[in-house]
Structure 1
Amino acid sequence: MKSEHTLDARGLLCPEPVMMLHAAVRKLAPGEVLQLLATDPSTQRDVPKFCQFLGYELVQHAEADDEFHFWIRKGEG
């Protein structure tokens, strides 16, 4: 999955990855995609809820080698 931006939150624990994600997504232009890299298992629960609550699209989610990768698209509106 292609992304215009990457946020590396590996090694950080809840709530830091979601707080950093919130700040980063606000800087995106509508339609841009941000890739979040995380190692905290709670991001698997928190990131989808964050996207649903704030209206962002969770385009893709993958897990590999104890890392969690999320691709989040900022809405057009």
Structure 2
Amino acid sequence: MATTVDARGLSCPQPVLMTMDEMKKLGKGEIQILVDTETSRENVSRAAASQGWQVEDTQPDGDGFRVHIVKR
């Protein structure tokens, strides 16, 4: 089951920092990140990829996006 990081309502770099903290805490696994801007979605996806996490899926979610990242 994926951990959820709810970064809606926050502007960059806060969503990226919250995601990075969760990636470091877990080491591997699945994380779903909730963001509400295109910029946050792109920045979170880039940050995850730079740390060896794969962006499995990005879906619209209400007024924002749900980014699902995985590291096995």
- In 2, Cα distance between equivalents of 1:16 and 1:7: 11
More helix by share: 2
Aligned to 1:58: 55
Aligned Cα RMSD in Å?
1.5
TM-score by length of 1: 0.80
Task: Report if aligned partners of 1:14, 1:40 keep a CA contact under 8 Å in 2.
Answer: no
Q: Which has the larger radius of gyration?
A: 1
Aligned to 1:67: 64
Query: How many residues of Structure 1 are paired with residues of Structure 2 in the alignment?
Result: 72
TM-score by length of 2: 0.85
- In 2, Cα distance between equivalents of 1:34 and 1:52: 13
- In 2, Cα distance between equivalents of 1:41 and 1:28: 25
Question: Are 2:23 and 1:25 aligned?
Answer: yes
Query: 1:55 Cα shift?
Result: 1.0
Off by >6 Å, runs of 4+ in structure 1? none
